[in-house]
Structure 1
Amino acid sequence: MDWVLSFVEVIRSFGAPYINHHRKLEDYMNELRGNVNSLNSRKRDLELKMEAEDRCGKKMKKEVENWVKDVEKVGNEVKNIEEKFLSVSFWSRGHLGSLVCQNIEKVNKIYQQGSFSDGVAVDGPPQIGLPLSTTNPEGQIDVRTRIWEYLMGDGVPMIGVCGMGGIGKTTLMKHINDQLSKETEKFDIVMWITVSKESNIFKLQKDIAEFLKLQSLPDNELQRAARLKNYLEGRRYALILDDVWEQFSLLDVGIPDPTLSMGRKVVLTSRLADVCRCMDCVVVEVQPLSKNGSMNLFLNAVGLSVGQYQNLKDIIDKVVDQCRGLPLSIVTIAGSMKGVDDICEWRNALAELENRVKSVKEWDIKIFEQLKFSYDRLNDPNIKNCFLHCSLYPEDFVIARHGLIEDWIDEGLLGLGTKEAMHDRGQSILNKLEDFFLLERATSPSYGIHEGVKMHDVLRDMALYIAGHQFMVKAGMQLKELPSEQEWTVSVEKVSLMQNSKLIKIPPHISPKWPHLSTLILQNCGLKSIPESFFKHMAGLKVLDLSDNHFLEYLPNSISNLNTLNALILVGCWQLKYMPSLVELTALRKLNLLCTGIKKVPHGIEMLENLRDLRMQSTALKGVPVEILPRICHLQCLMIGKTLVKGEEVGQLRKLEWVSCSFSSMQEFKKYAECTQGQWPTSFTFQVGPLVDWDTNLLFSPNFKKIEKEVMFTDSEIGKCDDRVVPHDLRSLTIAKIDDFKCLNNMPLFRKATDLKKCQIRDCGRMKCVVDLSLSSCDILHDIEVLYLCRLRNLREVVRVGVRVAVENECTSHAPTPPAIFSSLRTLDLSCCSKIKKLFPVELLQGLQNLEEIKVFECEEMEEIIVASEENHKGEGTTFILPKLKKLLLIELPKLKSICSAGLMIPANSLQTLTIVRCPELKRIPLSLPLVENGKPSPPPSLQEIFVGPRARWESVEWDQPDAKDVVSPFVRYLI
């Protein structure tokens, strides 16, 4: 019995709460389940409300969106608790009971937060469609008029715009799309969706949901259709489906039957009239251009002067005739003849065109032969191959310019030389392909591509026609398994299966016989593993791209035998932890392991004497073993981000042009600087000191169009180093988590950093001012364009002007304010600085003439943005300040009383965005709107949106300018 008594004493020692948790675990679990059910019911009610708001064109509030995420997160936590409850031991019951009680409180708290008495949505943007920049289509006036009448009338709900590839269907409908986007009284929304040959119902649903910004679409096709149908049911919409190849059911996708409502229109464009007829469309056929229209389009594209045209008129007439009124042929052929005024060359071009068209019969191939004329005029085989390479991407895919150039480098299409020279060569080729109208400029902001190109689908078909059996391209076709062996040809040289995210498995023992294969692209295929036998018969493989296979954990050892491999690309393979030996890959020039899970440097990397480009970034990879980097001495690009390296070893890499790495201390950075002897890389991003837990640009791929020159210091030795450590052309400086860092004055390190454009200071606990003019001037601030200040808990002022003293009855200062201390500043971002009360004194305004954006966020004590003393404006009239201001964001400032002192106003002529949220003490808006002829204020032409909240607080705020609030009211969006 002694052990029983001892046990009881042990239990008592834990205290009554522990005993209760142990004894009442089942009761607590039942309570938790009930509370979670109530929480999920409230979540479903809110979702129903949101669906109703969606139909009225409103958007979910950010706080509601965050609340839904909290519900989902706590739901997952409760599931884990349920699993623990099923197998809980006697000894663990008390601990689990305590955890259950904590989650009961958490669930109750989230439930209370989900009341949202002010509503769940805010007004959506007024724009009903997405403007698509395009040229005004030449000719086709009758067709445009007919389509427009059908769209504006009530009799025709489904319209099919048909015609051969390259006839101008897409250009025509882009023009109509932009017109429809202005018809706010006719439609609530105008959607443009590119369908393409490789599309299916699932992808079409995904594209429509992305366009509508619908989140969390279900995985089940029927449920997805129901969600889309529910969203669109109450709306008036025009839906343009571009490049349709097969008949499909609108209802299967989730598109309500347009025949049942006057407010719905669906337009298809297709090369196949039968597809449109089968989908009950009224067919509108796009005809070739007239002789006049063809000639106008050709002359605009070729750029000949009137005098030149008169000399070549007869030949040009015949060249244009050969184009048969096909706009794509016209602009492509014209582009290839741009700048040519030699009559012999024109005669030769005409002869080539006539011979091509006579030699073929099928219409598609006839078009290809016309377009191939421009391809042949590229002359240089490498440029031709650069063009053909673009067909390896999916149809209608926007390709990032710098990424495409990297691909060309990997393929060996840009020759050898420095990285910078190869990128310059690549840009030149891209410009030429655009000038020949073989590629067009494009962007895809949702994928972060702001500078890209794409191929017209007919030109892509033409490229694949030229490549023939040498290319096997099944990109973006939603494949679930590899193509059948009947589709494999021994002669194939390039295989692209990219963007097939459901191709998760390659069967074991499969071994494609591709002895001539040089390029294999399996990017973003969802692969989980690759069998050992897969690479057995690919002895000539040079480029292997396995990027963005997020679940790929290891590579087969057979990769070690690919001794002709030039580029191995594994960026974005997050789960990849194992790399086979690289000893035999002596031809390897590029190894990209960015954003992988590798824990150590791959075996044999020091043997890769030809390696020019090494990119490794993994949270598990802490450092590079000594003596490895000096052995791969030809590196031009080294990207290892937060992985620590020795300064002297990196400094020995004399050919480095782009480098991103981290040094453990200022001492290591000094060693690197000494080794370079002032010869800094073209582009660099360094972290110096202890690693911090937030990211800079260290993870991103180099973009040689935008050179980075950035250093981040987290080392407290920063004040002891002179300017020889930092490159004079430094552009971006970050100082983070250095408690004894006080201000930028008297920092020898930066005295000669005359190109500094961006300065970021974060988490420096003892900093009270950024620059102290009572000590000295700070020249590096003259050229600063962007200033970020974050979590400086003791910051009192950005600029300390100086201590004022009386000299001969005059008020003067030890340090008069330099007139242009911030003369180049465009963006000021101040966040989470809890003690600062005033942002800028008015004395500094003469140096803020270029300030375009001010953001002040979560500064608890902030009272005033621009401060003027009484003597500054005593007896004076209104003074206008910040003449170029475009964006003003004031968020979570509980004590903010004014934006600027009385007598000061900000001209709003350039204003684009105004955001004032949770600033309860703010009573006036000192913005001066432009005036029209009658002296009344009008909205600035640049004004886009005004975000405010809460609504009741905003309505009590007054503008200094009469009638201003009413004038801007159409631009106001309420956030809370």
Structure 2
Amino acid sequence: MNDLRLRLDDLNVRKQDIESVNESEIRGGKMVKKEVEKWLDNVEKMNAEIEKIEQKLVVVSCFSRARLGKLVRKKIEEVKEIHRQGCFSDGVAVDRPPAKGMTLLTSDLEGETDVNNQIWQLLMDADQVRMIGVCGMGGIGKTTIMKHINNQLLKEDQFRKVIWVTVSKEMNVSKIQEDIARCLKHSLPEDELERATTLNHALERTSYVLILDDVWERFSLSKIGIPDPKPDEQRKVKVVLTSRSKEVCISMGCMVVQVKPLSKQESMNLFLNHVELGHSVVQDPELKKIVNSIVKKCGGLPLAIVTIAGSMKGVYDTHEWRNALNELCQHVKSVKQWDNEVFKCLMFSYNRLADSEIQNCFVYCSLYPEDFPIKRRELIEKWIDEGFINGNTRQAMYDRGHSILNKLENNSLLERTRSLGYELSVKMHDVIRDMALLIEDHSRFCVKAGLQLKELPDEREWATGTFDKVSLMNNSILEIPSHISPKCHNLSTLLLQQRDLGFRRVLETGFKTIPGTFFEHMNGLKVLDLSYTNITNLPDSISNLGNLNSLVLRCCYKLRHLPSLAGLKALKKLDLYNTTIDKIPPQMETLENLTYLALQAEGLKELPTGTLPMFSRLQYLATMLQLKGEEVGKLSKLEFLSCIFLDMKEFKKYNSTSGTKWPQNYICSVGSSLYRNGSLFGVEDKSEKPEEHNTLYFVNCDLEEADFAMLPMDLNYFHVEKCDDLKCLSDGTSLFHGVTLCHIWECQGIECVIDLSSSPSYSFKNIERLVLGKLCNLLELVRVGPTFESPCPVIFSRLTMISLEKCSRMKKLFSVEMWQGLQNLEDLRVEDCQEMEKIIDDNGTRNGSDTTSLVLPKLRELSLYSLPRLKTICGNGVMIPTNFLRYLRITECPELKRIPLLLPQLENGEPSIPPFLKRICVKPREWWESIEWDDPNAMNVDLSAFVSHVEYF
């Protein structure tokens, strides 16, 4: 039975992890797979069966124990099998039906409206025109125009799909195919010929506009898998491409639309809209004359106008404007159809940065592939590694990095965007990137990023210049030849990282080993990035890189072995996040200059005692290892900490050693192990983002030993799990005043969350999200007590989400003292609470009243599941408006007979469908058909199109 209990515990931990992932995937717009739903049901059934066995065990006779023992052994095997089946290696969710296209961020059009209208007419009206070529010099505004067209098309019904693909100078057929397939939500085979055929079939079944941005040379549509866009009565198809070359457009059979430079007035309007002084500039006659001359030098080129205007933001002095004009005149005679003149114009903005640190940071961005979204935090980390940003603290360097990024964005040298993971990122316009790579002082760059190279450049190519930085990132290099030994004594940066394909996904092909000779002549190397590669080990020669500052091996999932790092005396950053090493590198403790250490590795069990204090300069420490509290407490310079303390004793040792001085950012767990708490802890997400919530987890530990005065004052996320001695969270302490997220899970001793009867001071007034689960003795959220003086304080005024799950004794969720303060609640979920009778209790105070009270005015999601005794949601005369309602889920609530939802009204007073409503999920169907509405006009509104009779959504 002990073995069975342990197996079941492991199974339920996996179930909890999968449910957490499910919730995240659903919020991301995906649907949970049916096989996952079935697996979760099987886990629930197994829990019920084992609960019955537990009951039998209490009363079983000696004669029946053998038979029961056989049943227990059988259940152990069944639990093991279900646990094995719970490894959903290809994910737990699938995409919902694909959207029509993606809305793109763009700026206002200035002067291109005629071209915009011309292109629109060709798309809408001229059936004989199937291919449109939008041409013009770099920076003229072709992409901006087409982004507007893309967004316009999404609002029209003529095309089922609007597909945007950026082609770029170094055309990559595989990438184009992948981008089109992603828009179609279609998967492609590995074989090149099969990919084109598969894509062709997918496109032939729909009507679409395909926008191919930034085409540099003629190519075959059929080679990619794009069908010939010939006239077709059955479906409408258009292909639009943008190119700097009119000849390319003509050679591909396009109807050409030429984008011309802006007129004098349009140029002035655009400039004034982007310079901080705005139209007040032209009030001063002398200043107006200077501005006119500067705008004239831009030759009607929008990119040049916006960039130069950005570089003049905040300039008020006439002398400085005149000096800027003189500098511009020295570089630019006039902007014609020549790229070198365009670059000179843009160089003015680069020179205006007037800070070598910022200029270095800007040029560094050109090491990334063309049109590549660079995550802000990743870029700042690289700048720190390179030594472009210096400071005594990591926070100061982050702040400086964000300040530089903002300046580059404000000067229009970088544009803000988001990565595929929706993380805030920046991107370089391809023209500006070309300019950055041509800057004379940085001619020692060798940039071959994102070109899908399958081979490393040969030694002759390495030897052609004294390279300072080499970027070969995001290629498909199959191997590094055993004989190669590039003679690059001046090389300081080598970027070999591959694409981030998501957690636990790596390219099937790629180099797995690095020969020992490879680093022989790179003694000047300072930054080495091998992230997301297939390497299994590093050569011993890595130890000879005595000048190396940064060694990044992030997400090298196959990396198992590291040689001695004793020779890396200058090393400041060691990133082993998501590797499979099973022990720390030999003599790692000699790396006394380390300021950044990431040690998340599944195979790594422990850090030898005495190792950690050797790294006295550490500012950033992220690991899932159980650390000694006293050793961590001695790291006085820590600014970010992610780790596990074995128990409360070690946690208290940390506090006593550190003198309650916590790092600025932390994610710490007390009493949990990596295996049991890995997904909950957020190894792959939270522990890598120091700007996220400060978090403490207490799991399966004795909270009676905890002194809440030890907790940091800036705690944001508080998680308690399996701590049975927890009675409530309001013990008169004010240390929870900053907590915004609170999770309480499987704590058998808790009867209320906040007890105002014993302590009128309430600590969680700032809480925004509250998750309560498996609290078998929870009776109420807030305990008031008979002698409490009203009015009750508004406790949850900032609460936006509450989830209650498997709290078997709870009968009422919100009391009369609470519900009037829930003005910001958006998401309400109550699931599998067997005794729940009422969600919002008015305690009979509304009886006899003719007026209607409205509660939860901002509610977006309401989910009620498996509540067999639920009789009512709200009391008499209390209703919930649906102005913001998006999802409604009511399943397996057989006693619920009325829905207190108030539908919005049209101007004529008639009820209408809630404007944001997406889905209503109900079960069983008969219940929905028999339900009554408190809103007397609800029956006049047809909601059938939104109703789905399924269990999960």
- TM-score tier, shorter chain, comes to 0.7 to 0.9
Q: CA deviation at 1:443?
A: 1.1
- AA in 1 matched with 2:252: M
Letter in 2 for 1:442: T
Tell me the C-alpha RMSD between the 2 structures: 3.2
Q: 1:606 to 1:102 in 2, by over 3 A?
A: closer
Deviations 1:781-818 (A, max 9, x none): 2222211123334544434444xxxxxxxxx5568683
CA shift, 1:582, in A, is 1.3
Task: Give the corresponding residue for 1:426.
Answer: 401
Q: 1:141 aligns with which of 95, 103, 113?
A: 113
1:472 maps to amino acid: C
SS in 1 for 2:133: strand
Aligned to 1:806: none
Letter in 2 for 1:583: A
Pick aligned residue for 1:352 from 312, 324, 327: 327
C-alpha distance in 2, partners of 1:218/1:794? 54
- Within a 5 Å distance, the mapping from 1:63-212 to structure 2 comes to 63-64=33-34, 66=36, 124=97, 128-153=100-125, 154-184=127-157, 186-212=158-184
Gapped regions of structure 1 (runs ≥ 5): 1-58, 71-97, 111-119, 803-811
Q: Which moved more, 1:336-345 or 1:293-302?
A: 336-345
Q: Match for residue 658 of structure 2? A: 676
CA distance in 1, matches of 2:544, 2:865: 58
Specify whether residues 951 and 279 from structure 1 end up closer, same or farther in structure 2 by C-alpha distance, changes over 3 A only: farther
| 2-structure distance, mates of 1:223, 1:890 | 47
CA distance in 2: counterparts of 1:735 and 1:121, whole angstroms: 31
- Contact kept? 1:541, 1:565, Cα under 8 Å: yes
Q: Secondary structure at the match of 2:802?
A: strand
Within the alignment, does 1:628 sit opposite 2:611 as a pair?
yes
Which residue of 2 is the match for residue 711 of structure 1? 696
Query: Structure 1 pair 192/361, CA: closer, same or farther in 2 (3 Å)?
Result: closer
Q: CA deviation at 1:64?
A: 4.7
Instruction: Tell me what 1:233 maps to.
Output: 204
Paired amino acid for 1:439: L
CA contact (8 A) 2:846 2:877 kept: no
Answer yes or no: is 1:221 the counterpart of 2:195: no
Q: Per-residue deviation at 1:374? A: 0.3
Which structure 2 residues correspond to residues 818-967 of structure 1 after superposition, within 5 A? 818-833=792-807, 836-859=810-833, 862-891=836-865, 893=867, 896-916=870-890, 922-939=896-913, 943=916, 945-949=918-922, 952=925, 954=928, 957-962=931-936, 964=938
Tell me what 1:46 maps to.
Answer: none
Equivalents in 1 of 2:941, 2:485: separation in Å? 70
User: Which secondary structure state, in structure 1, belongs to the residue aligned with residue 720 of structure 2?
Assistant: strand
How many Å apart are 1:136 and its aligned residue?
Answer: 2.2
1:415 match:
390
The match for 2:3 is none
In structure 1, the residue corresponding to 2:517 is in which secondary structure?
helix
1:289 to 2:262 alignment: yes
The 8 Å contact of residues 824 and 850 in structure 1, kept in 2 or not, is answered as yes
Between 316-325 and 59-68, the greater mean CA deviation after superposition: 59-68
Q: Give yes or no for the alignment of 1:543 onto 2:527.
A: yes
Structure 1 match to 2:486: 512
Distance in 2, Cα, partners of 1:280 & 1:963: 59
- Offset, 1:975: 6.9
Shift in Å at residue 866 of structure 1? 2.0
What SS does structure 2 have at the residue aligned with 1:265? strand
Could you tell me how far apart the structure 2 residues matched to 1:306 and 1:346 are?
Answer: 15
Match of 1:82 in 2: none
Cα separation, partners in 2 of 1:966 and 1:435, compared to 1, 3 Å: farther
Distance change in 2, residues 1:742/1:290 (3 Å): same
Q: Displacement of 1:834 after TM fit?
A: 5.0
Contact 1:773/1:815 (<8 A) preserved: no
Q: Which amino acid aligns with 2:214?
A: D
Deviation at 1:280?
1.8
Q: Is the 8 A contact 1:123 1:973 kept in 2?
A: no
Shift of 1:919: 5.3
- The answer to whether the Cα contact below 8 Å between 2:648 and 2:705 also exists between their aligned partners in 1 is no
Secondary structure class of the residue paired with 2:511: coil
Q: Secondary structure in 1 aligned to 2:873?
A: strand
How many positions carry a matched residue from both structures?
Answer: 858
- CA distance change for structure 1 residues 793 and 156 in 2, over 3 Å: closer, same or farther? farther
Whole-angstrom distance in 1 between the partners of 2:205 and 2:892: 34
Partner of 2:570: 587
The aligned residue for residue 655 of structure 1 is 637
Distance 1:969 1:177, change over 3 A: farther
Alpha-carbon distance between aligned partners in 2 of 1:678 and 1:180, rounded to the nearest angstrom: 58
Mean alpha-carbon deviation: is it higher for 725-734 or for 299-308?
Answer: 299-308
The answer to which of 828-837 and 286-295 deviates more is 828-837
C-alpha distance 68-486 of structure 1, shift in aligned 2 (>3 A)? farther
Distance in 2 (alpha carbons) for counterparts of 1:608 and 1:769: 50
**Number of the residue aligned with 1:495:** 470
The question of whether the paired residues in 2 share the 8 Å contact of 1:917 and 1:947 is answered with: no
Contact 1:633 1:654 in 2 (8 A): yes
Distance apart, 1:69 and its partner CA: 11
Structure 2 residue identity aligned to 1:140 = E
Closer, same or farther: CA 796–552 of 1 in aligned 2, 3 Å:
farther
Q: Is the 8 A contact 1:712 1:734 kept in 2?
A: yes
How far does residue 968 in structure 1 lie from its aligned partner after superposition? 7.5
SS at match of 1:638: strand
1:562-581 alpha-carbon deviations (Å, 9 max, x no partner): 11000111111122121111
Give, in whole Å, the separation in 1 of the partners of 2:871 and 2:216: 61
Inter-partner Cα distance in structure 1 for 2:605 and 2:720: 22
Q: Deviations over 1:270-308 (max 9, x none)?
A: 112232223221111111111111111111111324443
Deviation, 1:141, is 2.5
Establish whether residue 577 from structure 1 lines up as the match of residue 560 from structure 2: yes
Residues in 2 aligned to 1:631 and 1:121: alpha-carbon distance in whole angstroms: 47
CA distance in 2 between partners of 1:159 and 1:347 (Å): 43
Cα deviation for residue 863 of structure 1 reads: 4.5
Which whole-Å CA distance do the structure 2 matches of 1:800 and 1:935 have between them? Answer: 42
1:284-433 alignment, distance < 5 Å: 284-309=257-282, 310=284, 311-358=286-333, 363-433=338-408
* Cα 1:413–1:958 shift into 2, 3 Å: farther
Partner in structure 1 of residue 446 of structure 2: 472
Contact 1:688 1:712 in 2 (8 A): yes
2:246 corresponding residue in structure 1: 273
1:892-945 C-alpha deviation (Å, 9 max, x unpaired) = 55665543234211122333444445656655432223323211234555x152
* Aligned residue number for residue 687 of structure 1: 669
Distance 1:477 1:178 in 2: 30
Counterpart CA distance in 1 for 2:417 and 2:888 is 30
TM-score, normalising length: structure 1: 0.82
Give the Cα–Cα distance (whole angstroms) in 1 for the partners of residues 450 and 892 of structure 2: 46
For 2:592, the aligned partner's letter is: E
Letter in 2 for 1:462: M
Q: Could you tell me which amino acid in structure 2 is paired with residue 822 of structure 1? A: F
Which of 237, 240, 247 is 1:264 aligned to?
237
Secondary structure at 2:765 match in 1: helix
Contact 1:817 1:844 in 2 (8 A): no
Q: Structure 2, unaligned stretches of length 5 or more?
A: 1-28, 41-73, 87-92, 500-509
Instruction: Tell me the CA shift for residue 585 of structure 1.
Output: 0.6
SS of equivalent residue, structure 2 residue 763: helix
Note if 1:736 corresponds to 2:710.
no
